[in-house]
Amino acid sequence: MFMVEKKMYSIFSTGLILFSLINFSLAVMSTFLQKMIIVEWEIWGIMGSSINMSMLFDWMSLLFLSVVSVISGSVMKYSEHYMNMEKNYLRFIFILMTFVLSMLFLIISPNLISLLLGWDGLGLSSYALVIFYQSESSNNAGMITILSNRVGDVAILLSVGLMLKEGDWGFYWMFKENWESVVFLLILASITKSAQMPFSAWLPAAMAAPTPVSALVHSSTLVTAGVYLLIRFSEVVMNSSKLSWMLLMLSSMTMIMAGLGALYESDLKKVIALSTLSQLGVMIMILSLNMKELAFFHLITHALFKSTLFMCGGSMIHSVSGSQDSRMMSAFHVSSPLLGVAFSVTNMALCGFPFLAGYYSKDSLLEYMFMSSECWWVFFMAGLGTGLTVAYSLRIGYISSMNISVSQSVSGASDLTKIEIVSLMFLFMASILGGFLLIWVLMPSLKPSVLSEIEKWMVVMVSGMGGMKMFGMVQKNMLKQNLKVKKGFLFFSSMWFLPMMSTKFMMNFFMSAGYMSLKTMDKGWLELYGGMGGKMMLLKTSGILQKSQFSSSLVSSYLISSILGILLIFSQI
């Protein structure tokens, strides 16, 4: 019975990968035939408004279904090894499948009513996964995760109420009017789910979940749900120029903040999480410049190599006895050659190394911005964010592959097992060939950029040479003992103090109010005229009696004590 239950990982993994292949074939057919299918049925209608459950199958939703399914299947197979010693593995499987099904339902939902089921399902199941280990740190991380996401859930509910006037909640024939209030609520919901500023603190905190969950959450499911919502409602967002500029500013700040944080972070999982946050900022920046196809393309390619990167990171953590400190990981190219190759290649894909998956989307982003951007600072922010990506990727790659081993023994780090190789096989190949296949097969709407030879080389220099220069500067400054350098290190490594503002700053008022009430009520007049006051009065009375016994005769002592006793009785009456 135990072995049969253990095989559930393989059963779900095989089913998800087959489902992915079917959806990929349908996405190719939908692209070439230029057809889409909308399935809709009315649940309830009154006075011209109807609540419909809808499903939309076009090339975008089918491709995203395929990517989410193949990543989920690979993560499920990877969990067979990673969660091998876990007693509650059945609970883990069912919560993970609930999480995946919620994301699949969100992808095919073209209106806000049906989207709410997948949206809330993601929030609830992600909370259950973050607190899976049931420690104090995981409970705190789960609380900040679900409370931050509830802000977006409330925004979705408010937008549903405001759209009642339209009589329909679908995005494919909506909004003849420019409703900035509804657009603002949609943007608020998206930036909370995608952890943009000022809601960025929950994403690194969600690293308390098991590593397979992190590989799924931070690649193609929870954090990308907000980006996918903005992609679907992109025409509506672009109608409000002020809000699109606000979205551009928030995404740019998030990208820079996460890149600087990853450059100074030592926890391997948090570095990869901050990398996800930086890439989410890149996606929303592209989207705010009205390039939704390119944003979706970067979302897909990022999902492929980021899930592989997380799974390699989990194997590295297992190899060093569970330590997540990247400074304790080294010489993997000697002790674990397969793991070293997989980690290095996916790390290069994240950098945008030529002809890997991330190159096609990042290079297209910089070229389009250089060609069509009206503001120089937009191109500057995009170039700075790309350079920071190269810098922290070089730092992690250098630490993991340097020849000097900082662990107890080089041979103590094991290589990939058979199950890990099978689970990484599809995603590793997709990290190499996925960008090339997608840009030529499933991205027909991307227009070619027109740049001169000098401008083309400038795009390469911005990302490559800029990242190397920043990496060198950080390595040099971290050796200094200057107070200003240490303050800057603290500021950048703590995500511009956003976690503190999201937790301690929010609780400061309630803690101060509780302390003042405790001091003024329980330790103030209530205590003075209550228990403590009665105690002091009795002590003073007994002191007077003792003094009277020593200073007078026995009769006078009894007389004084009797008078005082009578006075006490009358005072109580």
pLDDT band per the 50, 70, 90 thresholds, residue 405:
low
Q: What is the largest CA-CA distance in the chain?
A: 117
Select the more confidently predicted residue: 369 or 480. 369
Task: Give the pLDDT mean for 39-53.
Answer: 74
Residue-level pLDDT at 1: 39
Q: Which helix (H) or strand (E) holds 348?
A: helix 337-351
| The two structure tokens encoding residue 233 | 């409602």
**Amino acid at site 381:** M
pTM value is 0.81
**Residue 167, phi-psi category: left (phi > 0), alpha (psi -120 to 50), beta (remainder):** left
Query: How many percent of the chain have pLDDT more than 90?
Result: 0
- DSSP strand pairing (37-46 vs 49-57): antiparallel
- How far, rounded to the nearest angstrom, does the alpha carbon of residue 396 sit from its chain's CA centroid? 20
Residue-level pLDDT at 175: 54
Give the Cα separation of 501 and 504 in Å (integer). 6
Residue-level pLDDT at 507: 65
The per-residue pLDDT for range 174-211, each reduced to its tens digit, is: 555 556 778 888 888 888 888 888 888 888 877 777 88
Please determine, for residue 172, whether its predicted confidence score (pLDDT) is greater than 50. yes
Residue-level pLDDT at 35: 83
How much is the CA Rg of the chain, to the nearest whole Å?
Answer: 30
* Phi/psi of residue 132, nearest 5 degrees: -60, -40
Task: Give the pLDDT mean for 159-164.
Answer: 80
The per-residue pLDDT for range 214-270, each reduced to its tens digit, is: 888 877 788 888 888 888 887 777 776 677 788 888 888 888 888 888 887 777 888
Please determine, for residue 447, whether its predicted confidence score (pLDDT) is greater than 50. yes
Task: Give the pLDDT mean for 20-39.
Answer: 85
End-to-end CA distance of the chain: 77
Mean of per-residue pLDDT scores for the chain:
76
Tell me which residue of 275, 276, 250, 252 sits closest to 262, measured CA to CA.
Answer: 275
Q: Which helix (H) or strand (E) holds 39?
A: strand 37-46
Please determine, for residue 407, whether its predicted confidence score (pLDDT) is greater than 60. no
The per-residue pLDDT for range 103-152, each reduced to its tens digit, is: 888 888 888 888 888 888 888 888 888 888 877 778 888 888 888 888 88
Please determine, for residue 278, whether its predicted confidence score (pLDDT) is greater than 50. yes
Q: Exposed, middle or buried by CB within 10 Å (0-12, 13-18, 19+), for 253?
A: middle
Residue-level pLDDT at 178: 55
Q: How many CA atoms lie within 13 A of 107 on its CB side?
A: 25
386 neighbors 468 (Cβ within 8 angstroms): no
Select the more confidently predicted residue: 287 or 454. 287
DSSP state of 406: -
HEC sequence for 319-344: HCCCCCEHHHCCCHHHHCHHHHHHHH
The per-residue pLDDT for range 494-526, each reduced to its tens digit, is: 666 676 666 666 666 777 777 777 766 666 666
Task: Give the pLDDT mean for 401-408.
Answer: 58
Task: Give the pLDDT mean for 156-166.
Answer: 80
Please determine, for residue 350, whether its predicted confidence score (pLDDT) is greater than 80. yes
Residue-level pLDDT at 310: 85
